Amino acid sequence: MKLVIYSIILNNHQACVADELWELTNHSYCFVELVKPNDSNKKGGTKNYRNRPYLLCAWESDESYCKAMKLAMTAECCIFSGLPALPFEKARLKKGLLSFDMSERWLKKGWINLFSPTILHMFLTYHFGGWKHKPLYKLCCSAFAAEDQFKLFTFRDKCYKWGYFTSVNNFDDEVIQESISSGSSIKLMWCARFLTWKHPELPVLMAHRLKQKGLNFILDMYGEGKLKNSSIKLVKKLGVDDVVRFIDNKPNDELIADMRKHNIFIFTSDRNEGWGAVANESMAAGCVLVASDDIGSTPYLIDAGKTGFSFRSPVSSSGFDNPDINALDDLCQKVEWLFKNPDQRRKMAYYSISKMRLEYSPRIVAARLLQLIENLRSGKDSPYEDGPCSKA
């Protein structure tokens, strides 16, 4: 079976699964890259994937584009992601061939998103192209994507759970024990771009409350962005510069190594966070994840009290001048519980690692995807009750 994925760029969010699909299909797999890589679409990745044997760069030449179009018309299954993939998707669906559309949620900001040129184009193409009656299915890279599709009368009863799947290292038990051991000080980590919708004010305000309660901890905040200076100023204003440290961007491998030295990972984005692959990475590294409940990956990855905690998402309009106190209260409550229950925290860390290894590793999800495709080709539905490739 020839499987082809059309996506904007091959980056660290997709390369791990792509590598596994290449092997599991006995090299009958192709990743068609549609846009020339640049700093904005690399998703913070620093690795070069140009030498991957399955990579076809449709943007490089007319010859490559024509080859990509031929694959869209002949492959047994194709997966399309993003507006640049639409010409290939349209051509394939005119022939009524098995396909998937892959995306995060369409209505991140609510109904106003329907007026965005990209979403409107996809919406109109689906309805006026008769795609409802085609063998076209949805891979949902957000726990909220299926709900959005239902509202828009698109992909109803044809949505499957998906996401972004990062590397899961099988480091030994001694390394696991080191990463989740309880020292005298609890180490918390936050890693993101310092942007409004990432809400860097929340971990700083949380640190202030934790310090006031006499709890022993260090909060490391990784990343760069336009709100970093505001975060530094708030830290100094609140007098928590002794417990909050700012660390510049690092290569992904170094970030993963640093995650293993922390106990709790704080993820504070609002509903504008499509998936949030850092959630996968932190759980696989042995951190207990405490994440906003509007982040796309949160409902899929967090089993409350077992693999982490979700907290009330900050409203999109909140920020340094008007922080969301309800979100802050809930965040602090969950983090304090983890401080006061070290045995349960360690168990949760083990469960998190196990979930990543057994359910969300690139090898596992690649095999699940191939099985789902085979089932659909033979007129069956997904064989999975939960997790990737189960019904969304």
Token pair in block for residue 358: 């057994």
pLDDT score recorded for residue 179: 53
> CA separation (Å) from 102 to 233, 253, 260, 266, 344?
40, 27, 31, 27, 36
Indicate whether 87 pLDDT > 60: yes
Indicate whether 39 pLDDT > 90: no
Indicate whether 181 pLDDT > 80: no
pLDDT score recorded for residue 40: 63
pLDDT over 90, % of the chain: 91
pLDDT score recorded for residue 184: 74
Domains of the chain, start order: 3-165+361-377 (3.40.50.2000), 173-358 (3.40.50.2000)
pLDDT digits (tens, 9 = 90+) for 338-381: 999 999 999 999 999 999 999 999 999 999 999 999 999 999 99
180 pLDDT band, cuts 50/70/90, is: low
pLDDT digits (tens, 9 = 90+) for 237-273: 999 999 999 999 999 999 999 999 999 999 999 999 9
Q: Determine the average pLDDT of the residues in 49-73.
A: 97
Backbone angles phi, psi at 28, to 5 degrees: -100, 55
Indicate whether 74 pLDDT > 90: yes
Indicate whether 45 pLDDT > 80: no
Are the C-beta atoms of 171 and 322 separated by less than 8 Å?
A: no
pLDDT digits (tens, 9 = 90+) for 205-238: 999 999 999 999 999 999 999 999 999 999 999 9
pLDDT over 70, % of the chain: 94
Q: Determine the average pLDDT of the residues in 40-62.
A: 83
Q: Determine the average pLDDT of the residues in 381-392.
A: 98
Q: Between residues 140 and 167, which one has the greater pLDDT?
A: 140
109-118, 126-135, 153-162, 174-183: segment of lowest average pLDDT = 174-183
Indicate whether 76 pLDDT > 60: yes
138 pLDDT band, cuts 50/70/90, is: very high
For the chain, the average pLDDT equals 95
pLDDT score recorded for residue 172: 55
pLDDT score recorded for residue 267: 99
Indicate whether 79 pLDDT > 80: yes
